[in-house]
Structure 1
Amino acid sequence: MTKAIKKQALGRGLSALLKDPENDIKSAEDKNADKVVGSIVALDIDTIEINPFQPRTNFNEESLNELSTSIKELGVIQPITVRKLDYNKYQLISGERRLRASKIAGLTNIPSYIRLANDNESLVMALVENIQRHDLDPIEIALSYQRLIDEIQLTQEQMSERVGKKRSTIANYLRLLKLDPIIQTGIRDGFITMGHGRALITIENHDVQADIYQKIVSENLSVRETEVLVKNYQESLKPTKSKTAAKPNAFNVEDKQQKAIINFFGAKVDVKVDAKGKGKITIPFHSEEDFNRIIKLIQS
Structure 2
Amino acid sequence: MEQKSINKLIENASQGQYELIDTDLISPNPFQPRQTFDTAKLNDLASSIKKSGIYQPLILRQPVPGIDRYEIIAGERRYRASIIAGLKKVPAIIRNFSDEDTMEAAVIENLQREDLSPLEEAEAYQSLIQNLHLTQAQISERLGKSRPYIANYLRLLGLPLQVKKELQSGELSMGQARTLLGLKQLSQIQRLAEKTIRDGLTVRQLEEIVNNLNVKEKTFSTEVNKQEKKSPFIVELEERIQDKMGAKANIITKSRQHGKIEIEYESMEDLDRILEVLNISLD
* Structure 2 length-normalised TM: 0.68
Q: Structure 2 CA distance, aligned partners of 1:175 and 1:101?
A: 33
Q: Structure 1 CA distance, aligned partners of 2:130 and 2:124?
A: 10
Q: Is 65-74 or 216-225 further displaced after alignment?
A: 65-74
Q: Structure 1 CA distance, aligned partners of 2:29 and 2:181?
A: 32
- Aligned twin of 2:183: 203
- For the aligned residue pairs, the C-alpha RMSD in angstroms reads 2.1
- Structure having greater relative contact order (Cα 8 Å, sep ≥ 6): 2
Measured against aligned partners, the alpha-carbon deviations of 1:198-217 in whole angstroms (never above 9, x if no partner) come to: 11112254441011111111
Question: How many residue pairs get matched?
Answer: 207
* Structure 1 length-normalised TM: 0.64
Q: Structure 2 CA distance, aligned partners of 1:192 and 1:66?
A: 27
Measured against aligned partners, the alpha-carbon deviations of 1:111-158 in whole angstroms (never above 9, x if no partner) come to: 223321111121111112112122210100100100110111000111
Match of 1:50 among 18, 28, 33: 28
Deviation at 1:170, TM superposition (A): 0.7
What residue identity is the alignment partner of 1:170? I
- Aligned twin of 2:130: 150
What residue identity is the alignment partner of 1:74? S
Deviation at 1:37, TM superposition (A): 7.2
For residue 218 of structure 2, give the secondary structure of its aligned residue in structure 1: coil
Maintained 8 Å contact 1:187/1:194: yes
Measured against aligned partners, the alpha-carbon deviations of 1:215-248 in whole angstroms (never above 9, x if no partner) come to: 1111111111111111111011122799xxxxxx
For residue 82 of structure 1, give the secondary structure of its aligned residue in structure 2: strand
Maintained 8 Å contact 1:79/1:112: yes
Flag structure 2 segments of 5+ consecutive residues without an equivalent. Answer: 1-12, 224-283
Q: Structure 1 CA distance, aligned partners of 2:209 and 2:53?
A: 51
Match of 1:38 among 1, 15, 23: 15
For residue 123 of structure 1, give the secondary structure of its aligned residue in structure 2: helix
Alignment of structure 1 residues 224-263 onto 2, 5 Å? 224-239=204-219
Q: Structure 2 CA distance, aligned partners of 1:38 and 1:115?
A: 10
Flag structure 1 segments of 5+ consecutive residues without an equivalent. Answer: 1-35, 243-300
Regions of 4+ moved over 3 Å: 204-207
Alignment of structure 1 residues 144-223 onto 2, 5 Å? 144-223=124-203
Tell me which structure has the larger Cα radius of gyration. Answer: 1
Q: Structure 2 CA distance, aligned partners of 1:213 and 1:225?
A: 12
Distance 1:167 1:105, change over 3 A: same
Maintained 8 Å contact 1:80/1:98: yes
Q: Structure 2 CA distance, aligned partners of 1:215 and 1:77?
A: 48
Q: Is 70-79 or 182-191 further displaced after alignment?
A: 70-79
Match of 1:132 among 100, 105, 112: 112
1:79 is aligned to 2:57: yes
Aligned-residue identity in percent: 40
For residue 70 of structure 2, give the secondary structure of its aligned residue in structure 1: strand
Q: Structure 2 CA distance, aligned partners of 1:105 and 1:37?
A: 23
For residue 161 of structure 1, give the secondary structure of its aligned residue in structure 2: helix
